[in-house]
C-alpha cells in the first residue's frame, strides 16, 4: 500500500456500549469502522464466519464487508471510530450505514469505498501488538472528536494517521518493522545524539512506538545498563568534560543541559559524582597540576 495517500477523515468517534443480548443485523458500511473493545464480549459475523471479540481486542471493519453483531451475556463496551483512510470529495456528505447493500439506493451504493487494506492481511479481529500506544492514539482521537475544540479535525487526522501506521506495521509484510534489537539500538543512538535535551521514558515511548517498560527491559538486556542510568551517565560525562576543560560558568553549563536552574543541575551532579560541580572542577584542576 502506498502510504503517501493516507489522509484520514474521522466521521464519527464515540464511547459506546451495547446491552447484553443486543443484536445488530446484517449491514454493509460505506467507510471503515475501528472498535477497541473495553469490556464484555461479542460475536461478530463477517461474511458468514463468526469471530468472538473480548476486552483488549481491536475490530477493523472495512467498507462493503457484510457483518452483524450479537452481544454476549455482559454489556459490550465498544468505543469506536468511523473514518475514511483518504479524504475525498464525498467524505463530508457520507453518513454511517446500517443497511445491507441490496437495500441501498444506487446513489448510496456508490458511497461504498474501495478497501485500501485488501491484500495486506489485516484480520477483522486482532490484538494490538503495542496496546499502550494503540490505546493512547485511539482514545485521544475519540476525545478530540468529542471535545471539538479549535483544530480538532487536524488532531483527529494526525492521531488516525499514526494509528493506521501502527496497524500497517503490525500486519503489512512489506513494512520495515523494527526488531527489538533494532529498536533499542535506535533508542541508544537517539540518547547519544540528544542527551543534552530533557528525555523521558514517556517521550521515548511515543518516539519509538513501544511500551516504555518493554523498552527498559530490552535496553537493559542489550547494554547491561538501565536506560535512565545510561541517559544520566551521558549527561554527567558531558558535564565532567566541560568542567575539566573549560572555565564555563556552572550556570551556563546547566542551561546547556536544559536544567531549570543551576541548583537543579548541582543536585543532579552531586548525586552522580558525590561532589558539587565547583568541587569537581577544583579537584580535577589540582590533579592536573600534579
The gap from C-alpha 34 to its chain's centroid, in whole angstroms, comes to 15
- The number of angstroms, rounded, from the C-alpha of 115 to the middle of its chain's C-alpha atoms is 23
Q: How far apart are CA 42 and CA 212, in angstroms?
A: 31
Task: Please give the chain's pLDDT, 290 residues, in tens.
Answer: 788 899 999 999 999 999 999 999 999 999 999 999 999 999 999 999 999 999 999 999 999 999 999 999 999 999 999 999 999 999 999 999 999 999 999 999 999 999 999 888 899 999 998 898 999 999 999 999 999 999 999 999 999 999 999 999 888 766 554 556 677 888 999 899 999 999 999 888 888 877 888 889 889 999 999 999 999 999 999 999 999 999 999 999 999 999 999 999 999 999 999 999 999 998 876 555 33
Strand order in the sheet with 67-71: 23-27, 67-71, 41-46, 49-54
Q: Does domain 178-290 have CATH number 1.20.1260.10?
A: no
Cβ-contact 187, 228 below 8 angstroms:
no
Domain range list for the chain: 3-171, 178-290
Q: Does domain 3-171 have CATH number 2.60.120.280?
A: yes
CB atoms under 10 Å from CB of 150, counted, come to: 7
DSSP state of 23: E
Return the C-alpha cell found at 5: 495517500
Amino acid at each position: 500500500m502506498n502510504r503517501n495517500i493516507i489522509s484520514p477523515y474521522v466521521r464519527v468517534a464515540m464511547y459506546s456500549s451495547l446491552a447484553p443480548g443486543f443484536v445488530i443485523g446484517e449491514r454493509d458500511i460505506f467507510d471503515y469502522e475501528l472498535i477497541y473493545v473495553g469490556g464484555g464480549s461479542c460475536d461478530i459475523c463477517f461474511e458468514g464466519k463468526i469471530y468472538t471479540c473480548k476486552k483488549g481486542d481491536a475490530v477493523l471493519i472495512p467498507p462493503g464487508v457484510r457483518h452483524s453483531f450479537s452481544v454476549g451475556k455482559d454489556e459490550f463496551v465498544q468505543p469506536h471510530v468511523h473514518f475514511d483512510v483518504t479524504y475525498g470529495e464525498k467524505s463530508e456528505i457520507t453518513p454511517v450505514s446500517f443497511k445491507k447493500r441490496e437495500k441501498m439506493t444506487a446513489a448510496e451504493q456508490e458511497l461504498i469505498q474501495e478497501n485500501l487494506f485488501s491484500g495486506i492481511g489485516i484480520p477483522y479481529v486482532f490484538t494490538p501488538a503495542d496496546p499502550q500506544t494503540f490505546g493512547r492514539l485511539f482514545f485521544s482521537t475519540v476525545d478530540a472528536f468529542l471535545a471539538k475544540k479549535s483544530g480538532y479535525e487536524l488532531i483527529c487526522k494526525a492521531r488516525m494517521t499514526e494509528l493506521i501506521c501502527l496497524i500497517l506495521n503490525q500486519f503489512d509484510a512489506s513494512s520495515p518493522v523494527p526488531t527489538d534489537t533494532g529498536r533499542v539500538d535506535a533508542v541508544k543512538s537517539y540518547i547519544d545524539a540528544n542527551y543534552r535535551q530533557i528525555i523521558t521514558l514517556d517521550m521515548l515511548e511515543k518516539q519509538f512506538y513501544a511500551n516504555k517498560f518493554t523498552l527498559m527491559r530490552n535496553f537493559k538486556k542489550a547494554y547491561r545498563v538501565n536506560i535512565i542510568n545510561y541517559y544520566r551517565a551521558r549527561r554527567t560525562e558531558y558535564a565532567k568534560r566541560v568542567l575539566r576543560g573549560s572555565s564555563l560558568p556552572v550556570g551556563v553549563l546547566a542551561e546547556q543541559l536544559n536544567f531549570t536552574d543551576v541548583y537543579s543541575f548541582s543536585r543532579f551532579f552531586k548525586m552522580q559524582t558525590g561532589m558539587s560541580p565547583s568541587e569537581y572542577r577544583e579537584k580535577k584542576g589540582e590533579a592536573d597540576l600534579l
